[in-house]
Amino acid sequence: MYLNSQPQPAPTSAETAVATAESITRTLSGAEATLHALLAEGVDTVFGYPGGAIIPIYDALYDFKEQLNHVLVRHEQGGIHAAQGYARSSGKVGVVFATSGPGATNLVTGLADALIDSTPLVCITGQVFAHLLGTDAFQETDIINITTPITKWNHQVTDASEIPEALAKAFYIARSGRPGPVLIDITKNAQMQKADFAPYQPCTHIRSYRPRPLVRSEYVAQAAALINQAKRPLVLWGQGVLLGQAEQEFKQFIEKSGIPAAWTILGAGALPTGHPLNVGMLGMHGNYGPNVLTNECDVLIAIGMRFDDRVTGRLDKYARQAQVIHLDIDPTEIDKNVKANVPVWGDCKETLPLLTELLEARTYPEWRQRFQDHDAEEIAAVIQDELFPTSDELTMGEVIQQLNELTQGEAIIVTDVGQHQMVACRYAKLNHTRSNITSGGLGTMGFALPAAIGAKYGAPERTVVAVIGDGGIQMTIQELGTIMQTGVNVKILLLNNQFLGMVRQWQELFHDRRYSFVDIASPDYVTVASGYSIAGLRVDSRPDLQAALREMLEHPGSFLLEVMVTRENNIFPMVPQGCGVGEIRLK
Amino acid sequence: MTQQSIDRREYNITAYTENQVGLLNRIAIIFSRRKINIESLNTSPSEVEGIHRFNIVVVETEEVVRKIARQIEKQVEVLKVYFNPNEDVIWQEMALYKVPTDVIAERALVERLLREHGARAVVIRKDYTVFETTGHREETDKLLTVLQPYGLIEFVRSARIAIIKNSQGFHHQLREFERIEPSHEVSENDYLNSRDKVFTM
């Protein structure tokens, strides 16, 4: 039996404060100081994989088993994606341990993913002895320089005495302002070295880092004036609303202003899917109405989103008619892709209430009717056939639709990358914030299985369903071993179309159906799962689908449900690359 | 020629930073990932103890430079970034010229040329002499052209250093940052204050 480390509830801040207060100046090894720092920062779960250069930290961890839950993954990439899932579901900082050299380089994909998706992480890597740095020592890589462009901040520690300050800065930087990944590389001698440590001091200020901008009320007033005179305003919201924990403030803003609001895939869930002012998903495979009407609105209010090219399509054809108001905490996002007429630089938890206060309550019935008319068009052309197909073969959309009926929007949906991702994001019902965990900016295949493990640790009370394609699961399938060993309860919904479906769709539409290396063979997933002591089932017919989904959800532990779906189904609507959002195709 | 290439000109980016290992790489990456060549780069201590100053010269459009400046300022260890076209700064580069001493000694014309260009002897040896001069690129280039026929052995030019004309110095702003910390962290918000004069002092 491997059911020995179920997710534990996080320690309360009071417990953490006691732990901090009880820490008196004492002699510790650098490794012990590292773990004390993590506890003082409120860390309850660490994902990692040991190796030679991080053995001292793992040795110290042996005595911290009761306080720090360590999840042994099967690959460092799995470890960092799990930490991302944990951070995204809990709102806390995800923590990863890896050794030097290959251990550290295996974090690279996850770091890039976390940076582009603004996920707060602290990665702690072991490094060779300081006297060996730069000598091509065994398992030495220059991980600081390798990860410089994909971390918010990184730092190498070569002396034990530096550890508390470095970790305090790391946590502060990772979670404040626009969150992001931080890497601390600790040489082996620094981990082993004994030093006198004063009580841990969390970091609250760095001279050269100012994460909380001062909000300029004159720009809030200008934004309000623009909104109050608008005839056809449209709100686009992104993950900034979730990261700023401003869901309530956002809802109040939307409900008072009466403005229809559309979301980026990382913003999904901040406003429930069923909310009457939620008009759907933006971007390449988003909904028809919000894409088309982006090019017809008179005032565009972007909140905590970064005008990614998957959202905007061609910039020279994007919302040229609109006055743009951009609310963002990161000044580099303002004017980066779309010029803002009124920039509101600040934390949206702070700026949104100021804006709401100045708004007139409105309803825009005719304008909202336009969205409903486009919805009707999209339902007739795409959605009806996708969710309620008449052919014999199962569609990805109907699987998500059936899942919605059973979960009633209460589950966390973790998706991989590809067609199933777009289908899940488009059709999953989400009642709560932090319910949609996906690799948005980097589009990392192999993300979902480990991220779902981490998401369950971050939100143990919630049902976590990983929706994965047959391509993505084979990229990090070894993490089934992590599920086996920890007993973590993750539902794996594998949508198998026997293709690398999104690439195949592009090859069909833009490369004359030249299906170059997208026909991917699969193992017998149910047998593979069984080998890891994970229950599983495979369905390929409609009458069996709902019962199978129910069995998956009701199963007391992890479960892999493989659903065979139609092979050559395309995801529509679609804004073809090089086109404007107004040129979105329904077929 | 496209409008963009017409609008490209020399900009002087001035960054005040912590003196931190690895920061040079972090800043250099911001240029290299956009495939922008750095024409000149100088780092040195600033007027404020413990704070370093980068002077970076690029040939780009104002829009691109503004975005780069903001990306640099976003780095954790960077305190402040300004960017200015050449007319807004006083700038100098130093050049060293190594020439055979016998030529200098025998030909009075060379001596006069050196004087005309404000050059100064740094080293005089039996076999060679090293002169230095400072000035704008054209000035140091002119002396280079002049000396070439007289057996120029070696030539080197430094990175550009620049002083911003319309500036009260960074320490005032730093003092302001420090005055309010740590309870209220303030981001000095030039951009929203005066959008047409972004990142100028």
Q: How far is B178 from chain A (nearest CA, A)?
A: 7
Flag whether residue B176 sits within 8 Å of chain A, measured between CB atoms.
Answer: no
Q: What angle, rounded to 10 degrees, do the helices at B137-147 and B108-116 form? A: 180
pLDDT at A20: 53
B80-90 burial code (b ≥16 CB/10 A, e <16): bbbbbeeebbe
Q: Which two tokens stand for residue A455?
A: 């998401």
Inter-chain residue contact A154 with B185, CB threshold 8 Å? no
A interface mutation test: which of B34, B76, B177, B184 has the most A CBs within 10 A?
Answer: B76
Q: Are A454 and A69 in contact (CB under 8 A)?
A: no
CA distances from A561 to A291, A345, A410, A556, B24 (A): 34, 45, 19, 14, 50
Interface of B with A in 69-98 (CB under 8 A): 70-71, 73-74, 76-79
Smallest CA–CA distance, residue A177 to chain B, in Å, is 11
Residue labelled with tokens 């909310």? A275
Q: How do strand A194-197 and strand A26-29 relate by DSSP bridges? A: antiparallel
Q: What are phi and psi of B199, to 5 degrees?
A: 65, 20
Q: Give the pLDDT confidence score for residue A288 in this predicted structure.
A: 97
Q: Closest residue of A to B77, CA-based?
A: A208
Q: Which position has the token pair 């690799």?
A: A439
**What is the pLDDT, as a whole number, of residue B183?**
35
pLDDT attached to residue B108: 64
The single-letter code of the amino acid at A338 is V
Catalytic residue among A169, A188, A349, A429: A188
Nearest to A212 among B77, B79, B187 (CB): B187
Is residue B142 predicted with pLDDT exceeding 80? yes
Put simply, the answer to whether B67 touches A332 (Cβ < 8 Å) is yes
Secondary structure of A526-543 in HEC code, one letter for each residue:
HHHHHHCCCEEEEECCHH
On the question of pLDDT at B170 being above 50, the answer is yes
> Rounded to an integer, what distance in angstroms lies between the CA atom of residue A319 and that of residue A321?
5
Rounded CA separation A181/B194 (Å): 32
Overall average pLDDT of the B135-141 stretch: 94
Would you state the pLDDT for residue B103?
84
H or E segment to which residue A113 belongs? helix A108-116
**Contact residues for A327 (Cβ-Cβ < 8 A; gap 6+):** A223, A240, A301, A302, A303, A304, A344, A346, A348, A351, A352, A355
Residue A287: closest CA among A318, A262, A254: A262
Whether the CB of B106 is below 8 Å from some CB of chain A: the reply is no
pLDDT per residue over B174-195, tens digit each? 777 666 654 334 444 444 444 4
Instruction: Residue A203: name the closest of A142, A155, A146 by CA.
Output: A155
pLDDT at A549: 98
Cα–Cα distance for residue pair A103/A285, rounded to 1 Å = 36
Taking 90 as the threshold, does the pLDDT of residue B4 lie above it? Answer: no
Residue pair A198/A69 in contact (Cβ under 8 Å)? The answer is no
Average pLDDT of span B30-37? 97
Whole-number Cα distances in Å, A194 to A56, A191, A475, B47, B53: 12, 8, 41, 38, 37
Contact yes or no for A45/A39 (Cβ under 8 A): no
Preceding peptide of A573 cis, ω within 30°? yes
| Helices A419-427, A396-407: inter-axial angle, 10-degree rounding | 40
Rounded alpha-carbon distances, angstroms, from residue B181 to A207, A349, B55, B187: 8, 22, 27, 11
Burial of A564 (0-12, 13-18, 19+ CB in 10 A): middle
Structure tokens at A136: 């091509």
Which of B185, B195, B196, B198 to probe by mutation at the A interface, max A CB count within 10 Å?
B185
DSSP codes of every residue in A181-228: EEEEEEEHHHHH-EEEEPPP-----BTTB--SPPP-HHHHHHHHHHHH
Q: State CA B19 to chain mean position distance.
A: 18
Residue B182 confidence (pLDDT): 40
- Whether the Cβ atoms of residue A386 and residue A376 lie closer than 8 Å to each other: no
Helix (H, G, I), strand (E, B) or coil at A492: strand
Task: State how far the Cα of B110 lies from the Cα of B127, in Å rounded to an integer.
Answer: 16
C-alpha distance from residue A111 to each of A177, A225, A539, B100 (Å): 18, 41, 36, 56
- Nearest residue to A519 (alpha-carbon basis) of A496, A540, A541: A496
Catalytic annotation, pick one of A32, A41, A47, A76: A76
How far A173 CA sits from the closest chain B CA (Å)? 8
Q: Give yes or no for B17 touching A (CB within 8 A).
A: yes
Q: Which residues of chain A have pLDDT under 70?
A: 1-23
Query: Residues of A with CB below 8 A from B29's CB?
Result: 148-149
Q: How confident is the model at residue B173 (pLDDT cuts 50, 70, 90)?
A: confident
- Nearest CB to A212; choose among B22, B73, B185: B185
Which of A143, A176, A201, A207 to substitute to test the interface with B, most B CBs within 10 Å?
A: A207
**Whole-number pLDDT of residue B196:** 44
d(CA B49, CA B51): 6
- At a CB cut-off of 8 Å and minimum separation 6, what does B183 contact? none
Residues of A in contact with B21 (CB under 8 A): 156
Helix (H, G, I), strand (E, B), or coil: what is residue A270? Answer: coil
């956009």: which residue's tokens? B34
Q: Which among A234, A243, A238, A251 has a CA at the least distance from the CA of A307? A: A238
Q: What is the DSSP letter of A580?
A: B
ipTM: 0.91
Cβ separation A205–B78 shorter than 8 A = no
Residue of B nearest to A169 (CA): B76
| Tens digit of each residue's pLDDT (9 = 90 or more) over B50-81 | 899 999 999 999 999 999 999 999 999 999 99
Looking at every residue in chain B, the average pLDDT score rounds to: 85
Choose, out of B66, B174, B189, the residue to mutate when testing the contact with A (most A CBs < 10 Å).
B189
- B177/A148 Cβ within 8 A: no
Residue A208 and residue B79: Cβ atoms within 8 Å?
A: yes
B185/A205 touch (CB, cutoff 8 Å), yes or no: yes
Residue A250 near residue A241, CB atoms below 8 Å: yes
What is the chain A residue with the closest CA to B30? A149
- Token pair for A540: 């390929």
> What pLDDT was estimated at residue B184?
37
| End-to-end CA, chain B | 33
